[in-house]
Chain A
Amino acid sequence: MIQKKICMVGVYATGKTSLVRQFVHAKFSDKYLSTVGVKIDRKPVQVRDQDVNLLLWDLEGRDGVQDVQTSYLRGAAGAIYVADGTRHETVVQVYELRDLVQRTVGEIPEVLALNKVDLADQWTVTKGDRADLARHPWHVFDTSAKTGDGVEAAFHWLAAAMVGAP
């Protein structure tokens, strides 16, 4: 079976662990526990008729982009950048995160998860932001780790892109 490493990248409390938990275990918790180091989960998926084992590296989210440990990124075949749609600064920070990932592992398939879309009344992503985001080659998904909206779609799109069948 093909194995592909995906790195979940984002600053703290954007919902990286919750997205993985929703995707792998179909569960959500409101309780926030920060990840220390990297938590690794596996999830087999099918892309067309091909079995792909996704290795999900949930990287510790720190205060700033400069704190992301690049040693954890090595060998990533895909990246999911996670921003919290209710915290505008995290949307801005994904550009720097992308630069860091690109410098470390080169061009790889990428997804941007604008997370916490269930909190629509607190949403801070503007039309201008979306226009800026659209100028980058990542595929943008509005996600909610709480309701599951967009979660399967984001991971499956990335899986397909990693095996060359988007």
Chain B
Amino acid sequence: MIELRVRGRTDRGLVREENEDHYFIGILRKSVDVIETNLEVQDAVRELGRLDAHLLVVADGVGGVSGGRRASQSAVFSLATFIGRTAACHYDPNVQQENEFLERLEHAIRYAHEVVSSLSTPGRGPATTLTMAMIIGRRVYIAHVGDSRAYVRSRGRLRQITRDQTMAAMLEDEGVDTKAAARLHHVLASAVGAMEMTPTIGLIDLDPGDVLLLCTDGLTKHVPDEAIAEMLASSPDPGPICDRLVEAALDGGGSDNVTVVVARADA
């Protein structure tokens, strides 16, 4: 069983007037608190009290000063609400349950998309990126839309789990001239509340010592991966790591809102 410590930080940055990012860290519990028992299977009984799941979300709103903030707030809140109401967290899911759970994750993203889309004329109003991780035991289920990112630092190596859903990335995939495509690095090809919304779903298993990072592009546009990797290893406590990441983004220019959520797995 893995113990998880999670912290998050957000900052308006040095240029933007308002913080359009939102984040969420929650624990979903479906547990049994054992008051008394004469059962002899003590280990199994102890596990009954640990049937929880962590839900981590970051979102970066786009589309005007208050619109972007409203979009990311609505998306995060509706996602957390949907998952809180519908997702049973399970200790040892069987395959059928896991398949259903993966579908529910996608439904949760689509629900958030409907909520954000309802804020204005579909495709013309604000939109938001959305990167979420649901951690059950050592398994991390990841759903992703837009250009916020999920990383994992494992065995000394930082790896980007998600792929940016930007026009630049899409055109590069299509083999279009990368210089031309680079000019579109800030244009989202898919976002919650936008005309195009294509969630990707994935998963990864954590080992003790691994660190998971969710972040908005306010971090990655100013802090290179090598520096992120070093900071993720700089403390066993995710709180100071978050502080260092945000500070580095501000030192690098702070041109955008910056949000980070760091989860460290320990044995």
Listed in ascending order, the chain A residues whose CB lies under 8 Å from chain B are: 3, 5, 27, 29-31, 33, 36-41, 55, 69, 71-72, 74-75
Contacts and interface: CB of A to CB of B under 8 A. Distances in A.
Most chain B beta-carbon contacts within 10 A, residue among A3, A38, A40, A75: A40
A1 to B, nearest CB: 11
Given A55-B99, A69-B205, A75-B94, A36 B175 contact: no
Given A29-B173, A33-B163, A40 B203 contact: yes
Nearest to B105: A40
Name the 5 nearest CB pairs between A and B, nearest first: A75-B95, A37-B204, A29-B173, A36-B161, A40-B201
B24 to A, nearest CB: 22
A31 B99 contact: no
A36 B95 contact: no
Nearest to B204: A37
B226 interface: no
Interface of B: 94-96, 98-99, 102, 139-140, 142, 152, 159-161, 163, 172-175, 200-205
A40 B102 CA distance: 9
Contacts of A30: 175
A40 B199 CA distance: 11
Contacts of B163: 33
A119 B230 CA distance: 41
A137 to B, nearest CB: 23
Nearest to B150: A36
Given A5-B95, A40-B102, A74-B95, A31 B173 contact: yes
A29 B203 CA distance: 23
B154 to A, nearest CB: 9
Given A36-B204, A40-B102, A71-B205, 13 more contacts: A27-B173, A30-B175, A33-B163, A36-B160, A36-B202, A37-B161, A37-B203, A37-B204, A39-B201, A40-B202, A71-B139, A72-B205, A75-B98
26 contacts: A3-B99, A5-B99, A27-B173, A27-B174, A29-B174, A30-B175, A31-B172, A33-B163, A36-B152, A36-B161, A36-B202, A36-B204, A37-B142, A37-B152, A37-B203, A37-B204, A38-B202, A38-B203, A40-B102, A40-B202, A40-B203, A55-B99, A69-B205, A72-B203, A75-B94, A75-B95
